[in-house]
Amino acid sequence: MRVFTRSRNQRHTKEHGFSLIELLVVMIILGLIASLVGPRLFGKLGGARRDTAKTQIEMLVAALDAYRLDVGRYPTEDEGLGALMQNPGVNKWDGPYLKKEVPIDPWGYPYHYQNPGQHGEIDLFSYGADNKPGGEKEEGDVGSWQ
């Protein structure tokens, strides 16, 4: 039976690590994976923003309904959504009706409020990423009537 031993000099001269070629191969593989997975993740992000807008609109409509139960009417367009946080000078106001400030939409724009609405008694909506009426997918409108 042979036993292989290393001398002290051999141990110090041979270094362990990755070669430049090995690092390049790993980087290329990671780049390919990112190019395949990245677009799918960003596509989901747009859908998540639309879902967030729908949820926020539903929450705001519930607060507007509570306002209406107390005051007897929805806030006017001039009073706007701010009437959910601060009394606009009406009797029977028993707010605030939200725990936090009125949120902005997921794209960074304020929600649009109409009273009377075109689709119902009130309309609450976001124009989406482009903040313009119409559009599709992430640029599409998200409203309380949907």
Instruction: Tokens for 113, please give them.
Output: 């409020």
- Answering whether pTM is above 0.85, one says no
Contacts 24+ apart (CB under 8 A), 131-140: 131/107, 137/46, 138/46, 138/49, 138/50, 140/50
Q: Is the pLDDT of residue 4 over 80?
A: no
Mean pLDDT of the chain: 84
**The 3-state secondary structure of 85-143, one letter per residue:** CCCCCCCCCCCCCCCCCCCECCCCCECEEECCCCCCCCEEEECCCCCCCCCCHHHCCEE
Lowest mean pLDDT among 21-25, 35-39, 93-97, 128-132: 35-39
If you average pLDDT over residues 43-61, what whole number do you get? 84
Q: Which domains does the chain have, with CATH numbers?
A: 49-146 (3.30.700.10)
Q: What is the pLDDT of residue 81?
A: 94
Q: Is the pLDDT of residue 109 over 80?
A: yes
pLDDT tens readout for residues 116-142: 989 999 999 999 888 888 777 777 889
